[in-house]
Amino acid sequence: MSIRRVCFQLQVKPGLIAEYTARHAAVWPDMLEALKSSGWNNYSLFLRPDGLLIGYFETDNLDVARARMVATDVNARWQAEMSGFFEDLNGAPDQGFLQLTEVFNLEDQLAAAAAALTQPKSLGD
């Protein structure tokens, strides 16, 4: 199974940026373990000074990773605490984020270029 890269966007309320940042400086250990065991790998959050939040993670299957997290008690507690930090949120943060479309990946393009170089040329080329 291939790894899927997921990038998403949320908007943190301007008056809550400092508190949001502080909460993520020491995420609950059981939440960290739930994320990892549910298949949220290489997970990072990036925050702009105006509250634009970009998240990135890799997973084998987004639907399965989300379902595994929804099934945990710690995720329900975490999402309830985090939901008040965001503007224009439909549902829990881990379900209501805007997923972004990947348009470029260096490794994918390098692999495609290398594969093209190793393909035998046909007689018509």
The dihedral of CA 116, 117, 119, 120: what is its sign? positive
More confident residue, 95 or 27: 27
pLDDT beyond 60 at 123: yes
What local confidence, expressed as pLDDT, does residue 110 receive?
A: 95
Task: Give 88-125 as a 3 state SS string.
Answer: CCCCCHHHHCEEECCCCCHHHHHHHHHHHHHCCCCCCC
Residues with Cβ within 8 Å of residue 10, at least 6 apart in sequence: 53, 55, 86, 89, 93, 96, 97, 98
What average pLDDT does range 26-51 have in this prediction?
Answer: 97
Model confidence at 112: pLDDT above 60:
yes
pTM of the model as a whole: 0.85
The whole-number pLDDT of residue 95 equals 81
Domains of the chain (ranges, CATH numbers): 4-118 (3.30.70.100)
Instruction: For 46-103, write each residue's pLDDT tens digit.
Output: 999 999 999 999 999 999 999 999 999 999 999 999 999 999 887 778 888 889 999 9
